[in-house]
Structure formats: structure tokens, C-alpha cells
Structure 1
């Protein structure tokens, strides 16, 4: 186990474990607190998550456990945080609307049209492509 501790803020910055593999070799680091340094693979160099995405990290102190979210694109008033004790989940949502009102109207009309259509019943239908 390796642990990094910040003396100024009295917080644990990183805690990671390394367990041996089944054959006795060194296994990968398993991060309990903190995040693994991002490495770039030559094969997946073009495929990586955006650096504009929010970053979630755990930051524990002597008094409490904390989850920190960095790089939020909107003002803090735009977000709504809810905690569900029954399922042990924390959910962060945005309150802004993603679709324009005209699109909602289009979806409503499309649903009405789809309700008018009747499914074809009768098993497999012959393919007339030949």
C-alpha cells in the first residue's frame, strides 16, 4: 500500500494497493483514493475522453469523506444534487433544458403518429428482395 498525505490541508491525496497476480508477478495498482495518471496509448491516441468533461475524485480528511467534482462547465446554480440513502447513490443533474421547445413539439407529434400505426402480426414475413 502507498499513501500520499498533504500536510498543509491534512488530507489524503492518494491511496493505492498492489497485489500479486496468480502467478506471483506484480499486479496493477488499484486506486482506493485518487486517480491513476493518464497514459496515452499509440493505438488509442485519437480516442480519449474530452478534457472538458467533469472529473470526480475522492478527497478524505480526518473528519469526513468528500467527493469533489472539478471542471464543471456551467455555474453551480445549474446543478441539482440528490442523495438516495436506500440505494446508497449520489446523483448530480443539470437543471438546464437540452432540447429547444420546437423539438419537444415534434416529439409529441411523432408519438401521436406512432400510436396510430398497427404492428403486423402473423409471424415471419417473406422477403421480396429477390
Structure 2
């Protein structure tokens, strides 16, 4: 899907807006039945959350999958203290963008920076993280670039490490910056739209 067709898909989707608790919440329903929910900070216009929901082949509504923002808490697991204890030191991977960068944070990685290798794999359209001590390996894509069919550029990638957290940044290409500006303008036009669609709310 090229940039323009992705923009057209968003524009043709059914959108519901809700302003609540300092956030602008937008729910998108696409023609194919997919849903996307986003939350923006009202003051900074920063994207806080983006999540998706798909229907199965049988038409059953699936759960929300977070693309940007803190992962959803599994209520069943949170009631099980053994699960919490077991997972508390595992690496936690979240995406938290800035205005100019796609950005990911991986908590609970106590190794020095020189142990990490972060690189772009153009043929697989993904970013690969690995450590020389073989303690951590992660491969992930940038859905925004995949939806817009934009190539990955190794020179846009950088990373740093502090407080046991690996922070990976990928500079947004100009096409994405232009698109995000257009989308934000569209979203702001929806402000005041009636109806507090439950799907706008963080589940």
C-alpha cells in the first residue's frame, strides 16, 4: 500500500472522536472490518497510543493489539502473583514515538551499550537487535513504513542505552512527516464529534 492509498484508506474510514482526560481519542473503522484506535496528547499533539483489532475468518472480534504505547495489561495474568514474579525481570519492548522519530524502548537490559548491535535488514524490511553475549535477540518491523511501502534506511537508525533500557530511534522519512501532519489536521477537524464510542477508550 503506497502512501497515498494508505491516506485514502484512512480518509474513507468511519471515524469517531472523543476528547477526554486531556487526550484526543480517535476510532477508525475500515471497509474491510479492521479497527484502529489512537490517542493523542491534547497539548503536544503527540501520539500516545495506536492499537488495532481484526475479525477472524469466522467474523469473531479479536482482542486489541498495541502498535504504539504501553502494552495492554493481561488481567488474568495480573491476578496471578507467580506470573508477575516470573516476568518482572524479563525485557519489556514498547514503542513510544517522538514527533521526528519512531522510537522503541526495551527495559530490563542490564548489559553495556557496546554489547548491542542494532541494524536494518532491508530484504526482510525489519530491524534486528542482537547482543554479543547472546543474551538478547529481537527482530521487528516498522508498520508505518510497510503500510506506505517505504524502504528502510540504515542511516536513519541510531540507539543509546541508559538505566538498563535500550532506546532505538529511527528518523521518520519526509513522506511520513508530511502524512502525519495531514492526518493530525484531519483528526483535529473531528474534535467535538458527538458520541463517546467505547472503542476509543483504552481497554
Relative contact order, higher structure (CA 8 A, sep 6+): 2
Change in 2 beyond 3 A, CA 1:53/1:43: closer
Instruction: Note the alpha carbon deviations across 1:20-77, whole angstroms, 9 max, x for none.
Output: 7736xx6522323221123234997645652212211112233332222222121222
| From 22, 28, 33, the counterpart of 2:63 | 28
Structure-2-length-normalised TM-score: 0.37
Partner of 2:89: 52
Structure-1-length-normalised TM-score: 0.52
Change in 2 beyond 3 A, CA 1:15/1:51: same
5+ long unaligned stretches in structure 2? 1-26, 28-36, 136-203
CA shift at 1:84, angstroms?
0.9
Q: Pairwise mapping of residues 1-130 of structure 1 onto structure 2 (< 5 A)?
A: 1=27, 2-6=37-41, 10-18=45-53, 22=59, 27-34=62-69, 35-41=71-77, 46-47=82-83, 50-96=87-133
Considering fraction of residues, name the structure with more helix: 2
Q: Which has the larger radius of gyration?
A: 1
Matched residues, number: 96
- The answer to whether the 8 A contact 1:33-1:59 is kept is yes
CA shift at 1:85, angstroms?
0.9
5+ long unaligned stretches in structure 1? 99-130
